[in-house]
Amino acid sequence: MIAADRDAPNSRIGLATSLIPLSFFCVFIYLLPRVKAGEVLYFYINWIPSLGIQLSVLIDGLSLLFALVICCVGFFVGLYAADYLGHHPRLGRFYLYLNGFMLAMLGLVLVDNLMALFVFWELTTLFSYLLIGFEHESDAARANARQALLVTGGGGLALLIGILLLGSVGETYSLRGLTQYAVRIKEHPLYLPTLMLVFAGAFTKSAQFPFHFWLPNAMSAPTPISAFLHSATMVKAGIYLLARLHPVLGGTDPWMGTLIVIGGITALIGSVQAMTQSDLKRVLAFTTIMALGILTMFLGGKTTPALTAAMTFFLVHSLYKSSLFLVVGIIDHQTGTRQVEQIGGLLKPLPFTFLAAAAAALSMAGFPLFFGFIGKEIMYKGALTEDMFPEFATLAALLSNSLMTAVAGIIALRPFLGPLKKMPRLPKEAPLTMWIGPVLLGSLGIFFGIIPGWVSRWLIEPAVRAFHWTTEDIQLKLYHGINEPLLLSIITLGLGTTVYILRSKIRRVFAGFLDQLPLKTEYAYTFILDAVAWLAKTLTRMLQNGSLHRYLVVVIGSVALGVGIPLIKNPPSFAGTDFAGVGQPGWLVVFIIAAAVVLVVSARSRLLAICGLGVIGAGIAMLFLIFGAPDVALTQLLVETLTVIIVALVLLRLPRLDHHKPKYGAGKLLNGVLAAAVGMLMTVLILAVNQHELDRFVTDFFEANSFIAAHGRNIVNVILVDFRSLDTLGEITVVAIAGLAGYALIRIQRKD
């Protein structure tokens, strides 16, 4: 790509739309003092009152922290893209998708109602699909976007079921309201299924094992998208959900055990795979998986240090990772490559980019005076105080952070130090709008490290207290004295430096280990996808083969089984059944209908069979007439007559039935059994309904209002013309179309 002209219309559009996240950021900064003072801001409007669903906004410390990060990173990404994609022909579409995604994420973290949260949850899935597949000419981009959509969308469906169960047990969809029923929810028999479904939604969204494979593949998106979606926003949606539901579902053994184990495994997998990559964007993608695993692991705890570590590391990671993604984008933009082996000596041509990379990488490695160092110390303190598996949590954090220290060196040192290598493009510093964002985001890692007390009071403490009520002091410090977390931080730096020095050998060992794994989750995804496609194709061949007879057998058979089995298990009583009201005329018509049925079944001529069906329809019309429904009888008679005429005209074009030998095998037997079963089923259902007193609410309403409200004495006519006017219009339209079709058939027959 080439740098955009400042006066290019596309570039101006990018700069203008970047004001949207900046405006939201200023609003949230204005609200920060009130939230810091402990105030919870709540606004709502009735959305679906009949279901008790409100579109409510909840602004507390947790939602405000996420909103600030979303808007801050969104602003710098928008500014960055103005030059990075300045000459792209679809830049306007890019900003539409980007800002749509940002608004969906803001909605997700700000709403109080779980149903509204799910709507925004799915909107983030939709916009991420559009953004990952932004370069839709690429087969890889389309495949990766589809993979992200299927994995996160499938988790979203599981989350919806979990939300419905949670609302059913807690009798509300309000997040604030559910906290009042936390004890009842945790003791309910549906607690474990609800928990697993919520975990499925959070794990797929935040790329937890075994759903972590989709995140690195999403790196096919342009770098600004990767920086926004997959470092600071979308993949943190699952983390937000776990934090928000912590008071409702957290603190139990299934919660703690699952999150600590899955989070620790994810962190180790991400850090190991990051060491084996040569593409800088994929390196960052796997380190994002590591960070998400760490966050999940600490949200599994219930101690104040563990939850404080989660919120602190969320902020730390969002700052340094978004900065590093933008740095990698600059390197790719200015040199034409992202491969580690092909890049070197960029310090002199890209000095500001190196400054951003160094600041962000040092925070990522956890060097003293950086905010990342404080985050690692509180992380180790939280791991040591976990209620379940503290040794596993500490070891997972130590190994993951050590490998991340080595990765930080690979990103910050390898591309910039040493002699200048020959690259596809002659490198030069990027425009101001591209490097200012990563520099400022990386510098926040230094600034926050110098004033950790301010960050603790204004950002971290309100966020933790929003979902974890505690009287313990929540305070971040640069130095807590000589203690276990400090010793673990020193070990991390030493071990990480060793890994960086021996990176070539360690990379080969890790790559060999990963190659020997018997089952890879991405292969499992491909297998499942192929199996679903095969099953769909097989079922389509079986069910959608063009045979109307088979369609009827499947539909009618399904109804017979679905309704008949419960009736057999709980047979109704027919003690009060009385057929005296049928009378001789009624029985005569029933006999005629039965004779017509025999005629249809035994007929060798299609025309004779359709005439028999017409007699059946006319007989039903006579029954309507006998029991006092002349309007319905007339409608039935007209429809049957028209049907006979149309079908007869069609059947004249087909060969005679007597050209074919009659079949009396299994097919005929199946048809007979199925027809008899459905007939008996409908008879039993009607008789069973008649055993109960009918609810006359609707009848009484029409009797009382037909003349007064609609000025009609014939209740049936009033229902059809006034109360069901649109329904009747639709029926008339259908009849008119059928009449036109019949007329067309007659015209064709005359021409022939």
Kindly indicate the confidence band of residue 264, based on its pLDDT and cuts at 50, 70 and 90.
Answer: very high
Total Cβ atoms within 10 A of residue 702 = 16
Tokens 């309201």 locate to 177
What distance, in Å, lies between the first and last C-alpha atoms of the chain? 67
Q: Which of 244-258, 471-485, 727-741 tops mean pLDDT?
A: 244-258
Tally of CA atoms within 13 A in the half-sphere of 193 that contains its CB: 12
**What does pTM read for this prediction?**
0.79
Average pLDDT over residues 62-90: 90
Sign of the dihedral defined by the CA atoms of residues 82, 85, 86, 91, in that order:
negative
Cβ atoms 323, 385 nearer than 8 A: no
Quote the pLDDT of residue 625.
Answer: 84
Q: Residue 508: pLDDT above 50?
A: yes
Quote the pLDDT of residue 7.
Answer: 45
Average pLDDT over residues 190-218: 92
Average pLDDT over residues 217-231: 84
Rounded to the nearest integer, the mean pLDDT of the chain is: 86
Tokens 């299994």 locate to 666
Q: Residue 289: pLDDT above 50?
A: yes
Average pLDDT over residues 175-180: 89
Q: Residue 40: pLDDT above 70?
A: yes
Name the H helices within 479-544. 484-501, 503-516, 521-543
Kindly indicate the confidence band of residue 612, based on its pLDDT and cuts at 50, 70 and 90.
Answer: confident
Q: Which of 73-77, 167-171, 245-249, 584-588 has the lowest mean pLDDT?
A: 584-588
Total Cβ atoms within 10 A of residue 232 = 28
Q: Which of 132-146, 253-267, 363-377, 540-554 tops mean pLDDT?
A: 253-267
Could you tell me what percent of the chain has a pLDDT over 90? 41
Q: Residue 10: pLDDT above 60?
A: no
Total Cβ atoms within 10 A of residue 544 = 10
Residue 721: its H or E element: none
Strand, helix or coil for residue 208: coil
Quote the pLDDT of residue 361.
Answer: 92
Quote the pLDDT of residue 686.
Answer: 80
Q: Residue 658: pLDDT above 60?
A: no
Could you tell me what percent of the chain has a pLDDT over 70? 94
Q: Which of 3-7, 465-469, 504-508, 527-531 has the lowest mean pLDDT?
A: 3-7
Nearest to 365 by CA among 229, 513, 550, 496: 496
Cα–Cα distances in Å, from 294 out to 265, 416, 748? 9, 29, 74
Q: Residue 427: pLDDT above 90?
A: no
Quote the pLDDT of residue 404.
Answer: 92
Name the H helices within 570-696. 583-602, 606-626, 630-651, 666-690
Cα–Cα distances in Å, from 356 out to 256, 363, 406, 637? 37, 11, 18, 83
Helices 521-543 and 548-569, packing angle to 10 deg: 100
Kindly indicate the confidence band of residue 72, based on its pLDDT and cuts at 50, 70 and 90.
Answer: very high
Measured distance CA(459)–CA(32) in Å, rounded: 9
Q: Residue 164: pLDDT above 80?
A: yes
pLDDT in tens, 687-742: 877 777 777 788 888 888 888 888 887 887 888 788 888 888 888 898 889 888 87
pLDDT in tens, 100-154: 999 999 999 999 999 999 999 999 999 999 999 888 888 888 999 999 999 999 9
Paired with 44 in beta bridges are: 56
Q: Residue 662: pLDDT above 60?
A: no
Cβ atoms 104, 120 nearer than 8 A: yes
Tokens 């996420």 locate to 66
Q: Residue 29: pLDDT above 60?
A: yes
Q: Residue 71: pLDDT above 90?
A: yes
Quote the pLDDT of residue 587.
Answer: 83
Q: Residue 492: pLDDT above 50?
A: yes
E-only strand ranges, 14-118:
41-48, 53-59
More confident residue, 129 or 6: 129
692: tokens are 């109960």
Q: Residue 23: pLDDT above 50?
A: yes
